[in-house]
A and B are shown apart, each in its own frame.
Chain A
Amino acid sequence: MNDTDRLSERARLRVEIDEAAKLIPILWPLTQFIAVNPLWDLVDLSFEDAVSEISRWLPVAGYPVGPVERGTGAVCASRDRRGLLEPPLQEVCEGLRHVQRGLNISADQVSRLNRELSNWCALYISGVMEDPEQRGLYASWREYVGQDPSMKRWLGRQGRAMLGEGPPLALDSLGDSLRALDIPTSGWEDALRFGLTALPGWSAYAKWRTRWASPDDASPKLYLADLLAIRYSVQAVLASNLGTPRASYSALQLRDVHSSSELDHRDLSEAGSNATVRSDRWSETNPGDLLRKRELRYQAELVSKLSRLPQAENAQTPIAQVVLCIDVRSEGFRRHLEEVGPFETFGFAGFFALPVRFRRWGSTEPVALCPVIVNPTAEVEERPQDDDLGRANRMIAGQQVLGSTRAAFDGTKNDVISSFLLAEAGGLFAAPMMVIRTAFPRLYGEVRRRVTGLIECPVEIPISLQESDGAMSLEERVLFAESALRSMGLTKNFAPVVILCGHGSTTENNPYASSLDRGACAGNRGGASARAAVAIFNEPSVRAELRKRSIEIPDETVFLAGEHDTALDTVKLYDERGVDPALHSTLERVRRGLEEAGRLLGQERARSFPGYQRSNHTLEARTRSLDWAQVQPEWGLARNACFIVAPRSMTKGADLHNRSFLHSYNPNDDPDGGVLEAILTGPMVVGHWINMQYYFSSVDPQVYSSGDKTLHNVVGGVGVVSGVGGDLRLGLPLQSIEDEHGLYHEPLRLLVVICAPRDRIDAVVGRNPILRRLLDGEWIFLLARDSDDGLWWNRERNGVWKTWSSGNSDGNGECNG
């Protein structure tokens, strides 16, 4: 095969791999776990069509079947029996089975191949399959497999040798194998789909590595092409070994399958007609209808709750304005905060619209502080003041000691002579630790904090925005400040203290810890974003510029950064040293208010904790977060249901049960819809991802949930498998969405509520195809309220607005108002 042919084949394969990879989600490594919409690349289709497309390749139902009300018998009666596929879906995995038959391989062989492939991926990820020159999985595998005894048993000596003799490039090998299997080029895409969906976990990780991680990322080079090349080269050897007629793969057959239920992906107008065809598949009670019914019921509850709110009396001047993340967990905190004192609260995306990378003092890894869909442009770092330099360096040295000790421990463990005494001595010292940690988690946490404090001597180091190469210019900083304040609607009447609060979560022994931190922001704690933003707002030069743009921040007003710990319900304030002494009493009142609000929220949340026994709620929350045995430290974003873009006046006083993302928005200050657009194309999409992750983890736990946490086995520090080995698990663990009474999360699609004139919303949607697709495809639903007349408007699929009132059925099934 000559070079030009090779090149064109590689290009073709790349395109087809990308196309095939649309069926699988992206799996971030556990260090930065993010909630994603598993069907994100199919969002061009409507929800229904996307679900049916994916169910041709994965055992996915897409809709909850059966009652999902809490306590009335769960969707899944017990964790061992995932009965979601009860209604027979005749074509489930038809695509998969057709390709399997076409390739003429038995289910046993596919299973065996899946097993071996998972094993190789795991060995590569954990470094056992060595790759010192960083050439990628395929190259290392070619060398590795040549000596693998189990391959010799399965494929024979020559077969195994053939594996190592393929072309050095993964794409070339893939092309050769597909041709060797006599698969016509028209059938390549389906063969690739089969290759990827047979092991969705590893494919999803490979998709992350190929498409999202930067090419020189330090993590192992497990690419999609490598995965497919390995699978098909083994398959080609198997086929040649067995000598069966491989050319039974017929594209013609598959085209028949396609035309009967296929849909032109780009033509949404056909979606309607095909939808009726598809609905024949369901039994009488169409699950899609049931879902819509439930969503409308929630919508009616929400509307009636918000409509019945009393008119806000003229509130007293707030002593502090607190800006919290849009996360659903902040809703309860804001509610209680407003109850306990003269506070005004705002909701803003947790990264505060600051696309930066953050480097902690002494760290070698800058961490992106913004959602993965935003590219960080600048870098922000911690830099100690000159008189603190000694203590700051002492802290680094302390961290190095701890790091070196850990390395020495690992080295001793990995050497056979020393491992024996290490186990003995280690055990003798671990004995009291193990007992105390299990029986008295808080005491253990306290002792550990003190001991590491002694070694590390932690010191708070302020953020510096200047001086580094990638820093933001003054113009950029002013731009950020202005747009942030205008987005929130906080452009006048500043309180003496303004707190920007990020959030994080303290849990122990939890591989999914980063998922509880901020799914939106690459799984990191939010304190750093808040600190960076606050540093900008406190800058005199920035304030001077803002004054020129008619945003007057009084000189006495101080911005402070905080972090809301959602497991403990506490808010920690940063960098309080520089605060003017005149504000100390105000600050004290603020602190007390925050504590009280946290306490009330804890009381409210504690009632929903599984296995909750203590009467002191604060203690319970604290114990749970420090307990290494606790599998359900907090509920995270479970039960999320709506995304409200409105001024606080529209929702203040309503108990939304921690189910709502709340983003502050002032419709009067946004004539051209720019702010609304920024919110809808940024934070709202993130909210949609979180919503879809919880939805699919609840509805299709077999595929999109990582299963029972107690069976999890961490592989290579980046993912988990269940039990002994196998495919990587996708999505959230069952303990995040279920408890002993059954499903805790209610699977609903996101309801977006916007307080803005309809024409503005239409303009924004018109300008942004992604919003159009999400709305027209029924991935999210839109409710608008014009603040003037207080009427509610429901946006239909085709863009038509209809008034909505409770009791209005909209022809989509009944609604119990």
Chain B
Amino acid sequence: MVIEFGKIALFVAVAGALVGSVSTLALRKGSMTTRLRRCQGLAWLSAVAAAVCVVVVVLHGSYGVALSVPGSQHSFQLLSADPTTVVLLLLICGVGAVVESFSLRYLQGDERAPVFFRWTGLVLFAMSMVVTASTVVVVTVAWVVVGWSFPRVVGYRKGASAIAKSVRVLRRNFIVGDVALVLAVVLIVERVGDIQLAGGLTMAHDSRLLGSWSTIVALLIVIAALVRSAQLVFSLWLPTTVAAPTPVSALLHAGVVNGGGILLIRFGPLATSSEAAMLVAFVSGTATALAAFVVMRSRADIKGSLVYSTMSQMGFMIAECSVGLPFAALLHLVGHGIYKATLFFRSGTAVPRLGAKTVVAKVHAPKWEVVVQAALATALLSGLVVLVVSILGQHEPGVLLVFVVGSFGVATWNWFNRRPAPIIFTVMWLVALGLVGTLYALVLAALQGWTAMSLPGTSIEVLGPWWLLLLAALGVALTAAFARRNARRWLVHRLGAIGDWAVRDLVDVPYELQTAGDGVGLGQSDSPPILRGEGALVYERGSSKAERGSGQ
């Protein structure tokens, strides 16, 4: 009985946003605002339904929705709800609901807003399918639909040339990834047939059947993931999306760009069993994580810095997938998505108000004292996290502890460097931080235990988790480099230039000059430049030679 309810909820969750967006077209009753309100309401409904699915899976374990082929006994597993899947579904539906609700007010007065809602509904539907579909083929079809419809979300307004250019770049890049994935799946179907996506080691068997093709298939899947998550060579489409309105960016960074990680997690051994593919993924993930971080620090505008921050985070996620830590990658993509969407939504608060700077009666302690205090606090907090995790019976790969220690270290160092004078505040702050850490550890442990069986494992551990230490070490080196002025400037110049190059065509310098001859219509950027010779001739005719010279 509960399972039946769960199936309905799953169906609603996946299809809700799409129904909503279709309804803005189909049911023409009411003003546009009313229709958009209805669309947004259906998105909230699908988010609630996703939450219901989570509850059902917690209570009853995994289930699925199958379609029976009429007239035969075959039934074809369409959607599956297991812990991994419903967590991702909750992310997608939740983000979708918030984006649509936000846009309802934010895109007020925009006569093209209904177009945005329509395409967003399709993107959400397709992403939900990517996340819940049971077989490789269905996932791929949904993936291609996302790649086809998301550029339309970006370009929902007509006429702005910067956005049109962004859409072109998007399409060019997405095609590469989509073709790679389609090719991979064609190979799979040809060799093995349609593979059920399932947890544990069951998929490992199927992937072994691919034989010598498994490396190529794995590489193609990795390429598709790298394109969608804006890594390395395929990364320059992401900065161009800043030309579009804020809700588009929120949807992108929370729901679409983490598609790469989702693909690698769900396809499991099909991608992770190949050493070459995992090496490629690790190298590109690490390189992007570090390089994009540098570019982020070289950005002057807030949205630009958010874009490169996402690129860096996606690199980290891909690196985690490639070293055999799918759960860590899952947690990261969910957490980061919400974090980035929130930052985009509130990018209007980047303006401080005058008179708000408070008197600083802070303690400036000598460096060694700060280091000692920070080290002690870090040890305490990290120990607390480890304790909580182990009490709940989970084991964290040691390398992640390095990141925990690093994060607490930086946070406490910043605090102790300039802290308010009364000791009581420091104590309370540390307690609060400890609470935060404990909560995080609780969520981590609980989720890990719950999703353990549903994450595709691999019997061949290609790159071990300790490879991530390389990323950590390089990160520390980068921090050290940034502390020195010359290194910082060199890095900012070289990598910042890439960032500028990526958006060179999209910068909207409003007063592009019209060429000589036409009298009207400024701002046409595709006008031919004045031929140098021509310009000189015009003047030579009119000027007197006596005017030439140094002009003193």
CB distance B508 to A723 under 8 Å?
A: yes
Judge whether A365 is part of the interface by a CB distance below 8 angstroms.
yes
Give A107's nearest chain B residue, CB to CB.
B513
CB distance A411 to B411 under 8 Å?
A: yes
Judge whether A364 is part of the interface by a CB distance below 8 angstroms.
yes
Q: State the CA gap A678–B159 with chains docked (Å).
A: 49
CB-defined A-B contacts under 8 Å, sample of 20: A80-B157, A81-B159, A85-B520, A114-B509, A179-B550, A250-B542, A253-B543, A363-B356, A367-B354, A396-B358, A417-B472, A417-B475, A417-B476, A423-B332, A424-B336, A426-B335, A514-B353, A610-B109, A714-B302, A726-B508
Judge whether A428 is part of the interface by a CB distance below 8 angstroms.
yes
Q: State the CA gap A490–B97 with chains docked (Å).
A: 56
Whether A106 touches B529, Cβ cut-off 8 Å, given contacts A115-B507, A252-B547, A421-B403, is: yes
Judge whether B368 is part of the interface by a CB distance below 8 angstroms.
no
Residues of B within 8 A of A710 (CB): 106-107, 110, 245-247
CB distance B313 to A420 under 8 Å?
A: yes
Judge whether A566 is part of the interface by a CB distance below 8 angstroms.
no
Beyond known contacts A97-B516, A424-B440: 11 more, CB 8 A cutoff: A31-B351, A111-B509, A128-B298, A149-B493, A248-B536, A427-B339, A430-B338, A434-B338, A435-B94, A713-B302, A722-B508
The interface-forming segment of B123-131, B227-235, B494-502 is B494-502
Out of B406, B439, B489, which one reaches A418, CB within 8 Å?
Answer: B406
Judge whether B457 is part of the interface by a CB distance below 8 angstroms.
no
CB distance B339 to A423 under 8 Å?
A: yes
CB distance A724 to B508 under 8 Å?
A: yes
Q: Which A76-96 residues have C-beta < 8 A from chain B?
A: 78-81, 85, 88-90, 92-93, 96
The interface-forming segment of A118-126, A165-173, A306-314, A639-647 is A118-126
Residues of A within 8 A of B440 (CB): 424-425, 428
Q: Which residues of B contact A (CB under 8 A)?
A: 33, 37, 44, 94, 97-98, 101-111, 157-160, 162-163, 239-240, 242-247, 289-290, 293, 297-304, 309, 312-313, 316, 331-332, 334-342, 345-362, 403-404, 406-407, 409-411, 413-415, 418-422, 425, 429, 436, 439-440, 443, 472, 475-476, 478-479, 485, 489-490, 492-494, 496-497, 500-501, 503-504, 506-516, 519-523, 525, 527, 529-530, 532, 535-536, 538-540, 542-544, 547-552
CB distance A417 to B529 under 8 Å?
A: no
Residues of A within 8 A of B493 (CB): 144, 147-149
CB distance A128 to B492 under 8 Å?
A: yes
CB distance A431 to B94 under 8 Å?
A: yes
Of residues A102, A183, A404, A702, which shows the largest number of chain B Cβ atoms within 10 Å of its Cβ? A404
CB distance A611 to B411 under 8 Å?
A: no
Residues of B within 8 A of A19 (CB): none
Of residues B102, B404, B493, B513, which shows the largest number of chain A Cβ atoms within 10 Å of its Cβ? B513
Q: State the CA gap A411–B302 with chains docked (Å).
A: 16
CB distance B514 to A408 under 8 Å?
A: no
Give A87's nearest chain B residue, CB to CB.
B520
Out of B104, B338, B359, which one reaches A362, CB within 8 Å?
Answer: B359
Residues of A within 8 A of B476 (CB): 417
Judge whether A213 is part of the interface by a CB distance below 8 angstroms.
no
Q: State the CA gap A115–B525 with chains docked (Å).
A: 13
The interface-forming segment of A324-332, A627-635, A684-692 is A627-635
Whether A703 touches B503, Cβ cut-off 8 Å, given contacts A30-B351, A416-B293, is: no
Of residues A93, A182, A417, A425, which shows the largest number of chain B Cβ atoms within 10 Å of its Cβ? A417
Q: State the CA gap A710–B113 with chains docked (Å).
A: 12
Give A425's nearest chain B residue, CB to CB.
B440
User: In the complex, how many angstroms separate the beta carbon of A10 from the nearest chain B beta carbon?
Assistant: 15
User: In the complex, how many angstroms separate the beta carbon of B470 from the nearest chain A beta carbon?
Assistant: 13
Q: State the CA gap A556–B351 with chains docked (Å).
A: 44
CB distance B407 to A128 under 8 Å?
A: no
Judge whether A155 is part of the interface by a CB distance below 8 angstroms.
no
Whether A182 touches B550, Cβ cut-off 8 Å, given contacts A101-B535, A149-B493, A710-B245, is: yes
CB distance A401 to B425 under 8 Å?
A: yes
Out of A200, A429, A611, which one reaches B108, CB within 8 Å?
Answer: A611
User: In the complex, how many angstroms separate the beta carbon of A33 from the nearest chain B beta carbon?
Assistant: 9
Whether A714 touches B504, Cβ cut-off 8 Å, given contacts A107-B515, A179-B550, is: no
Q: State the CA gap A715–B299 with chains docked (Å).
A: 9
Q: State the CA gap A130–B484 with chains docked (Å).
A: 13
CB distance A400 to B300 under 8 Å?
A: no
Give B402's nearest chain A residue, CB to CB.
A417
Judge whether A317 is part of the interface by a CB distance below 8 angstroms.
no
Judge whether A150 is part of the interface by a CB distance below 8 angstroms.
yes
Whether A715 touches B300, Cβ cut-off 8 Å, given contacts A423-B332, A629-B102, is: yes
CB distance B332 to A511 under 8 Å?
A: no
User: In the complex, how many angstroms separate the beta carbon of B298 from the nearest chain A beta carbon?
Assistant: 5
CB distance A524 to B107 under 8 Å?
A: no
Whether A724 touches B507, Cβ cut-off 8 Å, given contacts A253-B543, A425-B335, A630-B105, is: yes
Judge whether A109 is part of the interface by a CB distance below 8 angstroms.
yes
Residues of A within 8 A of B347 (CB): 713-714
Q: State the CA gap A677–B197 with chains docked (Å).
A: 82
User: In the complex, how many angstroms separate the beta carbon of A722 from the nearest chain B beta carbon?
Assistant: 6
Residues of A within 8 A of B302 (CB): 713-715
Out of A31, A122, A613, which one reaches B352, CB within 8 Å?
Answer: A31
Give B400's nearest chain A residue, CB to CB.
A421
Q: State the CA gap A514–B522 with chains docked (Å).
A: 32
Give A718's nearest chain B residue, CB to CB.
B351
Residues of B within 8 A of A715 (CB): 300-302
On chain A, which size bracket covers the interface? 35 or more
CB distance B105 to A88 under 8 Å?
A: no
Residues of A within 8 A of B516 (CB): 97, 101
Out of A631, A717, A722, which one reaches B105, CB within 8 Å?
Answer: A631
User: In the complex, how many angstroms separate the beta carbon of A287 from the nearest chain B beta carbon?
Assistant: 16
Out of B98, B345, B413, which one reaches A509, CB within 8 Å?
Answer: B345
Q: State the CA gap A400–B415 with chains docked (Å).
A: 11
Q: State the CA gap A96–B511 with chains docked (Å).
A: 10
Give B303's nearest chain A residue, CB to CB.
A713
User: In the complex, how many angstroms separate the beta carbon of B105 from the nearest chain A beta carbon?
Assistant: 4
Q: State the CA gap A107–B354 with chains docked (Å).
A: 40
Residues of A within 8 A of B489 (CB): 130, 144, 147
User: In the complex, how many angstroms separate the beta carbon of B467 from the nearest chain A beta carbon?
Assistant: 15
Q: State the CA gap A242–B531 with chains docked (Å).
A: 12
CB distance B240 to A364 under 8 Å?
A: no
Residues of B within 8 A of A724 (CB): 162, 239-240, 242-243, 301, 304, 503, 506-508
Q: State the CA gap A510–B510 with chains docked (Å).
A: 24
Q: State the CA gap A647–B409 with chains docked (Å).
A: 66
User: In the complex, how many angstroms separate the beta carbon of A149 from the nearest chain B beta carbon?
Assistant: 4
Whether A714 touches B513, Cβ cut-off 8 Å, given contacts A32-B354, A106-B530, A740-B109, is: no
Judge whether A557 is part of the interface by a CB distance below 8 angstroms.
no
Residues of A within 8 A of B429 (CB): 401, 404-405
User: In the complex, how many angstroms separate the beta carbon of B21 from the nearest chain A beta carbon?
Assistant: 18
Out of A89, A100, A242, A419, which one reaches B309, CB within 8 Å?
Answer: A419
Give A148's nearest chain B residue, CB to CB.
B493
Residues of A within 8 A of B348 (CB): 509-511, 628, 712, 714
Residues of B within 8 A of A62 (CB): none
Residues of B within 8 A of A399 (CB): 358
Whether A417 touches B479, Cβ cut-off 8 Å, given contacts A147-B493, A428-B338, is: yes
Judge whether A727 is part of the interface by a CB distance below 8 angstroms.
yes
Of residues B94, B350, B413, B544, which shows the largest number of chain A Cβ atoms within 10 Å of its Cβ? B350
Q: State the CA gap A242–B530 with chains docked (Å).
A: 14
Judge whether A658 is part of the interface by a CB distance below 8 angstroms.
no
Give A132's nearest chain B residue, CB to CB.
B485
Q: Which 5 A-B pairs have the closest CB atoms?
A: A106-B529, A427-B335, A427-B339, A250-B543, A411-B414
Residues of B within 8 A of A430 (CB): 338-339, 342
Out of B97, B299, B360, B514, which one reaches A93, CB within 8 Å?
Answer: B514
Q: State the CA gap A403–B352 with chains docked (Å).
A: 12
CB distance A150 to B479 under 8 Å?
A: no
Residues of B within 8 A of A422 (CB): 407
Q: State the CA gap A522–B354 with chains docked (Å).
A: 9
Q: State the CA gap A522–B353 with chains docked (Å).
A: 11
